[in-house]
Amino acid sequence: MLKARLLAWFAPFLMVTSLAASDWKICGYIPAQNNLQLLFYDASSVTVSGKVVRVWTKSITRKTLNVLGSKHKELIDAAARRMNSGYVPELLTLEAMKAQVKDNNDYRNELGSEIFDEMISNLPESYAHTSIFWEIDYNTKRYAMLTVTTQDKAGKIKTGARDIPKYEYLEPDTVMDHLTKLIQKYVK
């Protein structure tokens, strides 16, 4: 009984601590049920063992990002300052993403939008539709989901861990391909 009370008392602090330590970076887009989802990886969660990397990702719907953005208008100025300082989200440095940008005006719009989205994704109240803990093996160019957590609009959380991960091969120009290129810098 005492353990349960202590856990209930400390749980909010543990959650805030883990959220504050996150560093979410945009890594792709997932079209889903008429509501685009943006995928972010947590740079602070990356762990490396040889050529094997593990990382958390979360997807947030465009609708959720828009709602949070309207509640945090102060981030517009912060995003503009970050953009003017020369910051470029890593996703925009990938050749596949550069090829999609039509002109300088299109690039500046995309740049501002992605910086703003990254800032919103790092807010404690940013609602993740799905969080996935991935393992990526750079030796075999394969990846596997280790844990999947989904949350519905009512806040109900479902978590599923895989006893035996199912590895899949990377395909070019997919969200997983983009993610592996972005976090490859952590592999020595």
Q: Which residues of 142-171 are buried (b: 16+ CB within 10 A; e: fewer)?
A: bbbbeeebebeeeeeeeeeeeeeeeeeebe
- What CATH class does 25-186 carry? mainly beta
Give the predicted TM-score (pTM) of the model.
0.84
Q: pLDDT tens digit string along 103-145? A: 888 889 999 999 999 999 999 988 788 999 999 999 999 999 9
CA angle 183, 53, 58 (to 5 degrees): 65
Q: pLDDT tens digit string along 142-181? A: 999 999 998 877 777 888 777 778 999 999 999 999 999 9
- Domain locations in the chain? 25-186
Tokens read off for 20: 């504050």
